[in-house]
Amino acid sequence: MVKGRNRVVIEHVAPEIDCGTFPVKRVAGEKVVVEADIFTDGHDVVSARLLFQQLRERTWNEVPMTFIGNDRWRGEFHVGNLGIYSYTIEAWVDRFRTWQMDLKKKFDSGQDIAVDILTGASIIEDIADKASRKPDQKKLLAYADLFKGGADRTAVVAAALKPDLEDLIDRYDDRPFASRYGKELSVVADRPRALSSAWYELFPRSCSHDGKHGTFRDCEALLPEVAAMGFDVLYFPPIHPIGESVRKGKNNTLVSGPDDVGSPWAIGSAKGGHKSVNPALGTIEDFQRFIVKAQEYGIEVAMDLALQCSPDHPYVKEHPEWFRWRPDGTVQFAENPPKKYEDIIPLNFETEQWRQLWDELKSIVVFWIDKGIRIFRVDNPHTKPFAFWQWLIGDLKTSYPDLIFLSEAFTRPKVMYGLAKLGFTQSYTYFTWRNISPIFALHSITQYKLIMVVFPTSTMKGILNVYYYI
C-alpha cells in the first residue's frame, strides 16, 4: 500500500460492532454477508474483494464483491468451521476494466480506437509477466498479440470483453495502489446448540427418593425423563463444597441446623473450592460419569460458574488480597440493600493483584473444560468487570471454540446488550413481562434473540428453564 496513491475510499462497513471492538456471531455453516461503501475520484472502474481467514491461517481467502448501487458493494463468505474468523476489504482502481469500459464506449460511438487497442495490449503484457502458470501466460500473450496484430476492430472489442480474459486478468493482476480497509474485523462461529437449546435446571441433591441427600448417581435415573421431554441441556447449580461457618438455614435464616445443606452458591469450605466437588454429591469421577451418561441421551451438562466465595473458601486464607476487608477487620460479604448475603463474599476485582486473580479464575474454567464441560451458566456476570469477561471468553474461545457461555444477568437492557458484545452466547430476559414497552436489542448485536420461559414442574424436583432463539 502506497499512501498518497491510494485513490479508493472504503467506509461504512457492515457488520461492524463498535468500530470493530467486538466480533459478530454466527453458527458454523452460516454465511457472513459484508457490505461497504466503496468509491474513488473520477470515472475509473473500481473492483473490490472481501478477504477472510480463520484464526491461525497464514493467507487470506478472497471472494469478489458485487456492486449493488449507490456506491454500495456486497460480498459474502461461509464460516464452515467453529472458531474465530477475521475479515476485511481490499479495493482498487481496476485499470483493465477501466480500459474495457472506455474501449467499448469509444467503439460504440464510432471513434478511432487504434491507440486504445495498443494500450490494452500493453496492460495485458504487463500482467502476463506476473503469471505463474505458463499456459496462462501464453493465453494472455496471445490476446496481446491479437490486439497488436491489426485485427478487425470488432474482433478486438469482442476479445477484450471475453470472460476468459477477465478471469486471467483477475488471477494475476497485482492491484497496484490497492486500498485496504483500516481494520480487520472478526466473527465468532459457534456450534448449533448456541443458536437453539432447551435447558432443564436440576438440583442434584434433590434427586433421591429416600429423603437422603441426592447424588450424581441418583441423577442418572432421571436422564430418560429429561430427554423424553425434549431437553438437550441439563444445568446443575454449583456442585462445589458449601461454606459452613455462616451457612444459612431455611428461608434465609441466619441460624442453620445440623440438617441444613446451605446455599450451593456459598462456594468453598475446608473440603475445597471451585475445583472440588461437594462430597455429598459424589466425586469428580462420578460427575464425569454423569456427563457421559447424559450424552447417551443427547443431553449436554451445563455447569454453573459462580465467581464468589463463602468465608470458608480456601482463597480467603491463601489470597486475602483478593477480597475487601472492612475497618473492623471482617471481610465484606455480598449486599444488595436491604438484602444481605452473609454466606457469600464477592471477589475484589480492583485488587492490585488483579492479574493473578484473572489467571486463577481462568484456571477454574479450564479445569472443568478438561473434565468434559463445554457449557457454562455464569452467575451474575454483570457484577464483574466487563473487561474481565471480554478477556476470559475471548482467550478461551481461541483454544475451545465449542464453548457456550450463558449470562445469568437480570439487569438493564443496555448492560445485557454489553454482555452480549463481550462474548456471552445466550442470556435470560425478564423484560417479556414488564408492563412497559421494552427495547431489547440483544439480537441486533449477536444476531440472536433469546426468550426464557420458567415454570415449575411437579414430575421433576427442579425448575424447568426453556431457552430458545428466534
* 157, 107 contact by CB (below 8 A): yes
187: its cell numbers: 466473527
- pLDDT for residue 456: 29
pLDDT tens readout for residues 168-179: 999 999 998 999
**The pLDDT value given to residue 2:** 56
Instruction: Say whether pLDDT at 432 is over 70.
Output: no
pLDDT the model gives residue 444: 32
Respond yes or no: is residue 71 known to be catalytic.
Answer: no
Nearest one of 340, 258, 273, 259 to 307, comparing CA atoms: 273
Active-site position among 16, 201, 312, 379: 379
Tell me: pLDDT of 460 over 50.
Answer: no
The residues spanned by each domain of the chain are 8-93+184-189, 96-172, 193-469
Rounded mean pLDDT, 60-81: 97
pLDDT of residue 233 exceeding 80, the answer is yes
pTM of the model: 0.86
pLDDT value of position 468: 31
Name the band, by pLDDT with cuts 50, 70 and 90, for residue 388: very high
Q: How confident is the model at residue 442, as a pLDDT?
A: 36
pLDDT of 349 > 60? The answer is: yes
State which fold the 96-172 domain adopts.
Answer: Methane Monooxygenase Hydroxylase; Chain G, domain 1 (1.20.58)
Tell me which residue of 355, 376, 353 sits closest to 365, measured CA to CA. 376
pLDDT tops 70 at residue 51:
yes
Instruction: Give me the chain's average pLDDT, please.
Output: 90
Average pLDDT over residues 282-309: 98
Distance, in Å, from the CA atom of 224 to the CA atom of 235, rounded to the nearest integer, reads 15
For range 362-388, the mean pLDDT? 97
What is the mean predicted confidence (pLDDT) over 335-342?
A: 90
Q: Which fold has domain 193-469?
A: TIM Barrel (3.20.20)
Distance CA 203, CA 6 (A): 62
d(CA 319, CA 356): 10
Q: Are 53 and 59 contacting, i.e. CB atoms less than 8 angstroms apart?
A: yes
Instruction: Indicate the helix (H) or strand (E) that contains 341.
Output: strand 339-341
Q: What is the pLDDT of residues 95-153, one digit of tens each?
A: 999 999 999 999 999 999 999 999 999 999 999 999 989 999 999 999 999 999 887 89
Interval 192-201: pLDDT, tens: 999 889 999 9
Class of 8-93+184-189 in CATH:
mainly beta
pLDDT average, residue stretch 217-246: 96
pLDDT value for 196 = 87
Here the cell at position 123 is: 496492460
Cβ neighbours for 114, distance < 8 A, ≥ 6 positions apart: none
- pLDDT class for 428, splitting at 50, 70, 90? confident
Tell me, what's the pLDDT at 4?
75
C-alpha closest to that of 183 among 93, 87, 92: 87
pLDDT exceeds cutoff 60 at 57: yes
* Total residues found in the chain within this entry: 470
Q: What is the pLDDT of residue 5?
A: 85
CA distances from 431 to 366, 420, 452 (A): 33, 16, 10
CA 359 to chain centre: 21
Residue 448 has pLDDT above 50, yes or no: no
Tell me how far CA of residue 399 lies from CA of 81, 93, 244, 378, in angstroms. 14, 40, 37, 19
Catalytic residue among 90, 94, 304, 408: 408
321 in catalytic set: no
Burial classification of residue 135, based on how many CB atoms lie within 10 Å of its CB (0-12 exposed, 13-18 middle, 19 or more buried): exposed
Sheet containing 233-236, strands listed edge to edge, beginning at the edge strand earlier in sequence:
426-427, 404-408, 375-379, 300-305, 233-236, 199-202, 462-469, 450-456
